Amino acid sequence: MAIIVQKYGGTSVGSVERIYNVAHRVAAAVDAGHSIAVVVSAMGDTTDELVSLARSVAACPSEREMAVLLSTGEQVTIALLAMALENLGCNAASFTGPQAGVVTDGSKLNSRITAFSAVRVKKALAEGKVAVVAGFQGADKDGEINTLGRGGSDTTAVALAAALQAHSCEIYTDVDGVFTCDPRIVPDARKMNEITYDEMLELASLGAKVLHPRAVECGKGHGVVIHVRSSFHYEPGTLVKEEIDLETGTVIRGIACDKGQAKIAVVGVPDKPGVAARIFTAIGKANVNVDLIVQSIRREGENDILFTVCADELPKTLTVLEPLVKDVGAKELFHQNSVAKISVVGSGMVNSTGVAAGMFQAMAAENINIEIISTSEIKITCLIAEDRVEDAARAIHKYFNLSDVPLYPENSSETTEVTGRNNQVCRGIQ
Amino acid sequence: MAIIVQKYGGTSVGSVERIYNVAHRVAAAVDAGHSIAVVVSAMGDTTDELVSLARSVAACPSEREMAVLLSTGEQVTIALLAMALENLGCNAASFTGPQAGVVTDGSKLNSRITAFSAVRVKKALAEGKVAVVAGFQGADKDGEINTLGRGGSDTTAVALAAALQAHSCEIYTDVDGVFTCDPRIVPDARKMNEITYDEMLELASLGAKVLHPRAVECGKGHGVVIHVRSSFHYEPGTLVKEEIDLETGTVIRGIACDKGQAKIAVVGVPDKPGVAARIFTAIGKANVNVDLIVQSIRREGENDILFTVCADELPKTLTVLEPLVKDVGAKELFHQNSVAKISVVGSGMVNSTGVAAGMFQAMAAENINIEIISTSEIKITCLIAEDRVEDAARAIHKYFNLSDVPLYPENSSETTEVTGRNNQVCRGIQ
């Protein structure tokens, strides 16, 4: 009897009717002979409402008490879902995060899971019950209630699957899976059948909407196969796993777009040790998250350091940098708002050439200028003007024939044919 | 530094504004140099709303899941009150029942407290914090969430006061204290300054509205002085404690009325062992709560057994009794609806005579017929027609001069004078 962990987000349990949809789905999996543990979030907007309630009490409520307050949200859902399952004749038992054995690191609102015994969950499953577990929460070693921060329920589900050595972890969402690009930008974007953990992490801007990077990291660390799928139908979604068969040959997996970026250039930085450290330490202390960092030698003894931040954080970043630029002996500080990142991601790049050239060529044909280029082993990112990012995504998507990525790579005949085309394109631009 | 436990019910924390009223009151006690632990219930109608939500999911939700659901109510309150206190500059930490160390007996929705370590509460108090504890809830030895049933938060507060060896336990409510009679019936009923645990238990129909009998029992068992007082002002309320100074001499403490009773008479019961047991076992199995039981020998070899039940349960009781009456060889079964109990309560009765006579005389003067009389060491109860119970209460209250019970018995001069009058009345009717 395979153990399957299913996770349903706040929208999927946003009303009594929807809770019953979930209950029916769980009951069907039980009827199919599986042993099911379900992880759920707070209903609909509950968490936002609790945050508002707290803010009506205190402008800046303590994180400790906020965690105590917010954790009630999932506790309501687990009780209601267990009641619904029992009403359908399905034995069930609910567990809060602490009851399920989720041990957290003590950070009140952005905690990480340090251990997950799942003793009581295993016992419930052994007794033939569905275990309904509250996502997003746990308790530290002193019994203090912690919440897991964004993507917390996904992480609870994957960590529970690891603790139970589950056959798979199904993350139910309101989309069909992970797509080659955001379908709102590229209408013929295709759902991927499989993707590696690393690709999923690099595609964060696509993936974070359906599966939080922390959950992906947790899955990678424990070898948990994560199935991202729709809660509206029974079609398979996207499997996130260690290795996919590279012989099926799709070099590029997907295209990610991140708008709302700002570029900052510190020009004429003396080329000596410790300067970059000073700059980024100062920015880090201001709690600004730096994304791309590119350094290129301009002329002997001087560097230009370019990096991007979220556009919202540009003013704060400049405030920190302006005095510092003089201190470190740099010549100028430039910045540019309204830029966007566009990235192509795929493990296959490691073994392929010409992907970068193809990406640049696709954008050149659309007369899109590239500000910065940055690459990792499985990703190429370009910074471009924000108002051209949709054009760039469509052009690159088309260039690499991503609309023809096979839906069922395990179907070898179709696979060979279609991925051949994708490979051919790459070869053609070497 | 005296440790004081304060308890505020759902009405007192029914809105953010009211939570701040409580926070200000707690902060004032802290400023006065006390160490404060606060026990709170769920906000306003939260519990009712959660019950409705559960019933919208399942007509008959399991008690286990209902306890998981309901316990979120107090958890919201503790977080918000702790936030409010911190916002007033008062260090605070909230604790759910299980976190506070409330160990329950495993009954899901009507649990009793079997142990209360209060380790974390003591630590918080030692650190100079206000400990905010969720009433009404705990966890059994397996970590299952239990709720305490009616009056649960009062019991949590008294048990916490016992665990902390607190100076006193203040139960805040929307009335000024415990009165000599229901002021809606007897407009000049007086607030009592002190009452013994036993008197309070006997006055359940008066007291249950302000302090649940379970909490009184718990206070009696652990010698916790309970102060029932108003959350609207700072005037002292009523102290519930072991002994009050009998020299102050008030023989009668208060008058309790219970309407909605039904009298049942099993007439001509053979006088042999085991018959009463059969009758009341059968009624008990039908989950009917029997109140007064009176047996008087009518003639040799035959008894009449009279008892009262709640009028709502009369039909069920008769259904059980009708076949049984023949089985046990009784002659007749009578019943009477629309009767009420009226009781006078006072520890001083032990040492006084004539109280019963005075009570009967007061009612006789009003032409009120007595159906049944039953007495304990500190209580005399009469069953009378329901539509005469207010008249009886007023007559007895006046007869014993209860409106003149001293407000401040510790003020010896006033005390002596006024209690003298009360004693005189009693003596006068010996």
Summarised one tens digit per residue, pLDDT across range B165-189 is: 999 999 998 889 999 998 889 999 9
**Pairing mode, strands B379-385 and B372-376:** antiparallel
User: Can you give the residue range of the structural domain that contains B52?
Assistant: 3-173
Question: In chain A, what's the furthest Cα-to-Cα distance?
Answer: 76
pLDDT in tens, A339-386: 999 999 987 776 677 888 889 999 999 999 998 888 888 888 999 999
Instruction: Please report, as a single letter, which amino acid is at residue A118.
Output: A
Assess if residue B386 is contained within a domain: no
Distance in Å from the first CA to the final CA of chain A? 49
> What's the sign of the alpha-carbon dihedral B121, B125, B129, B130?
positive
A57 vs B19: CB contact, 8 Å cut-off?
yes
- At B74 the pLDDT is 97
Q: Would you say residue B106 has pLDDT above 70?
A: yes
A93 vs B64: CB contact, 8 Å cut-off?
yes
pLDDT band at B351 (very low <50, low <70, confident <90, very high): low
Rounded to whole angstroms, how far apart are CA atoms A27 and B73?
Answer: 29
- At A150 the pLDDT is 76
Helix or strand holding residue A345 (H, E): strand A332-345
pLDDT in tens, A99-147: 999 999 999 999 999 999 999 999 999 999 999 999 999 999 999 999 9
B58 vs A93: CB contact, 8 Å cut-off?
no
Number of Cα atoms under 13 Å in the Cβ half of residue B375: 12
- At B407 the pLDDT is 43
pLDDT band at B291 (very low <50, low <70, confident <90, very high): confident
CATH of the domain at A66: 3.40.1160.10
Region A209-228: mean pLDDT is 91
With helix as H, strand as E and coil as C, how does B143-196 read? CCEEECCCCHHHHHHHHHHHHHCCCEEEEEECCCCCECCCCCCCCCCCECCEEE
Rounded to whole angstroms, how far apart are CA atoms B253 and B379?
Answer: 10
Assess if residue A374 is contained within a domain: no
Q: What is the dihedral of CA B98, B101, B103, B109, to 10 degrees?
A: -30
Write the DSSP assignment of A70-136 as a string of letters.
Answer: HHHHHHHHHHHHHHHHHHTT--EEEE-HHHHTEEE-S-SSS--EEEE--HHHHHHHHTTPEEEEESS
- At A396 the pLDDT is 94
Q: Take residue B268 and report the two structure tokens written for it.
A: 């001509």
Q: Which of A409-413, B121-125, B136-140 has the lowest mean pLDDT?
A: A409-413
Q: Check: pTM over 0.90? Answer yes or no.
A: no
Rounded to whole angstroms, how far apart are CA atoms A20 and A82?
Answer: 10
Q: Take residue A378 and report the two structure tokens written for it.
A: 């499985």
A68 vs B79: CB contact, 8 Å cut-off?
yes
Region B64-69: mean pLDDT is 98
Assess if residue A43 is contained within a domain: yes
Q: Is A373 on the interface with B (CB under 8 A)?
A: no
- At B329 the pLDDT is 87
Instruction: Please report, as a single letter, which amino acid is at residue B293.
Output: I
A86 vs B120: CB contact, 8 Å cut-off?
no
Assess if residue A224 is contained within a domain: no
Closest CA to A31 of A85, A111, A76: A85
Asked if A55 and A65 touch (Cβ cutoff 8 Å), the reply is no
Q: Which residues contact B412 (CB under 8 A, 6 or more apart)?
A: none
Which chain A residues contact residue B82 at CB under 8 A?
Answer: 62, 64-65, 68
- At A26 the pLDDT is 97
A65 vs B94: CB contact, 8 Å cut-off?
yes
Nearest CA in chain B to A101: B143
- At A29 the pLDDT is 96
Closest CA to A71 of A145, A156, A131, A8: A145
A344-364 burial: b if 16+ Cβ within 10 Å, else e = bbbbbbeebebbeebbbebbe
Q: Would you say residue A405 has pLDDT above 90?
A: no
Q: Take residue A25 and report the two structure tokens written for it.
A: 């789905």
Extended beta strands in A9-75, E state:
35-40
Region A141-159: mean pLDDT is 93
Q: Take residue A263 and report the two structure tokens written for it.
A: 């570029």
Mean pLDDT score of chain B, rounded to an integer?
87
Rounded to whole angstroms, how far apart are CA atoms B115 and B108?
Answer: 16
B65 vs A84: CB contact, 8 Å cut-off?
no
- At B411 the pLDDT is 36
Residue with tokens 């519930």: B240
Closest CA to B16 of B87, B70, B93, B100: B87
Q: Is B69 on the interface with A (CB under 8 A)?
A: yes
Q: Would you say residue B209 has pLDDT above 80?
A: no
Mean pLDDT score of chain A, rounded to an integer?
87
Rounded to whole angstroms, how far apart are CA atoms B370 and A65?
Answer: 58
How far CA A11 is from CA of A151, A174, B52, B84, in Å, comes to 14, 8, 21, 31
Region A85-109: mean pLDDT is 97
Strand, helix or coil for residue A210: coil
Q: State the smallest CA–CA distance between residue B74 and chain A in angstroms.
A: 10
Structurally, chain A folds into a number of domains equal to: 1
Asked if A113 and A68 touch (Cβ cutoff 8 Å), the reply is no
Q: Take residue B391 and report the two structure tokens written for it.
A: 């008249």
Q: Which residues contact B49 (CB under 8 A, 6 or more apart)?
A: none
Most confident listed range (A414-423, B157-166, B315-324) = B157-166
pLDDT in tens, B325-348: 888 888 899 999 999 999 999 877
**Pairing mode, strands B194-196 and B238-241:** parallel
Q: Which of A16, A62, A96 sits opposite B57 (nearest CB)?
A: A16
> Which value does ipTM take for this structure?
0.80
pLDDT band at B153 (very low <50, low <70, confident <90, very high): very high
Q: What is the dihedral of CA B281, B282, B285, B290, to 10 degrees?
A: -70
A68 vs B82: CB contact, 8 Å cut-off?
yes
B68 vs A96: CB contact, 8 Å cut-off?
yes
Q: Is B78 on the interface with A (CB under 8 A)?
A: yes
How many CB atoms sit inside 10 A of residue B242's CB? 12
Rounded to whole angstroms, how far apart are CA atoms A320 and A306?
Answer: 16
Rounded to whole angstroms, how far apart are CA atoms B171 and B215?
Answer: 10
Q: Is A72 on the interface with B (CB under 8 A)?
A: yes
Q: Would you say residue B417 has pLDDT above 70?
A: no
Asked if A61 and A54 touch (Cβ cutoff 8 Å), the reply is yes
Q: Which of A59, A72, A94 sits opposite B76 (nearest CB)?
A: A72
Looking at per-residue pLDDT, the higher value among B274 and A299 belongs to B274
Rounded to whole angstroms, how far apart are CA atoms A156 and A38?
Answer: 10
Which chain B residues contact residue A64 at CB under 8 A?
Answer: 82, 93-94
Rounded to whole angstroms, how far apart are CA atoms A4 and A167?
Answer: 6
Which chain B residues contact residue A54 at CB under 8 A?
Answer: 79-80, 83
Q: Which of A285-289, B395-399, B419-423 has the lowest mean pLDDT?
A: B419-423
Strand, helix or coil for residue B229: strand
| Residues of B (193-222) whose Cβ lies below 8 Å from A | none
Region B216-224: mean pLDDT is 93
pLDDT band at A417 (very low <50, low <70, confident <90, very high): very low
Which chain B residues contact residue A80 at CB under 8 A?
Answer: 53-54, 57, 65, 69
Q: Which of A270-284, B287-301, B401-415 has the lowest mean pLDDT?
A: B401-415
Q: Would you say residue B65 has pLDDT above 60?
A: yes
Assess if residue B126 is contained within a domain: yes
Q: Would you say residue B426 has pLDDT above 50?
A: no
- For chains A and B, count residue pairs whose Cβ atoms are closer than 8 Å: 116
Closest CA to B166 of B401, B395, B380, B4: B4
Assess if residue B31 is contained within a domain: yes
- At B137 the pLDDT is 97
- At B84 the pLDDT is 98
Mutation pick from A64, A71, A81, A83 vs chain B, by most beta carbons of B within 10 Å, is A83
Strand, helix or coil for residue A293: strand
Rounded to whole angstroms, how far apart are CA atoms B402 and B190?
Answer: 7
Q: Is B47 on the interface with A (CB under 8 A)?
A: no
- At B372 the pLDDT is 87
- At A383 the pLDDT is 92
B65 vs A72: CB contact, 8 Å cut-off?
no
Mutation pick from B83, B91, B108, B140 vs chain A, by most beta carbons of A within 10 Å, is B83
Q: Is A21 on the interface with B (CB under 8 A)?
A: no
Rounded to whole angstroms, how far apart are CA atoms A35 and A56?
Answer: 43
Assess if residue A30 is contained within a domain: yes
Assess if residue B195 is contained within a domain: no
Q: Take residue B380 and report the two structure tokens written for it.
A: 């005399």
Q: Which of A54, A58, A82 sits opposite B65 (nearest CB)?
A: A82
- At B292 the pLDDT is 84
Residue with tokens 């009581």: A120
Cα three-residue angle A48-A50-A52, rounded to 5 degrees: 70
- At B175 the pLDDT is 87
Q: Is B143 on the interface with A (CB under 8 A)?
A: yes
pLDDT in tens, A57-69: 999 999 999 999 9
Asked if A343 and A360 touch (Cβ cutoff 8 Å), the reply is no
pLDDT in tens, B124-145: 999 999 999 999 999 999 999 9
A57 vs B86: CB contact, 8 Å cut-off?
no
Rounded to whole angstroms, how far apart are CA atoms B79 and B76?
Answer: 5
- At A249 the pLDDT is 59
Q: Would you say residue A425 has pLDDT above 80?
A: no
Strand, helix or coil for residue A370: strand
pLDDT band at A47 (very low <50, low <70, confident <90, very high): very high
- At B145 the pLDDT is 97
Q: State the smallest CA–CA distance between residue B207 and chain A in angstroms.
A: 33
Rounded to whole angstroms, how far apart are CA atoms A264 and A332?
Answer: 11
Q: Which of A71-80, A241-250, A306-315, B93-102 has the lowest mean pLDDT?
A: A241-250
Q: What is the dihedral of CA B340, B346, B348, B349, to 10 degrees?
A: 10
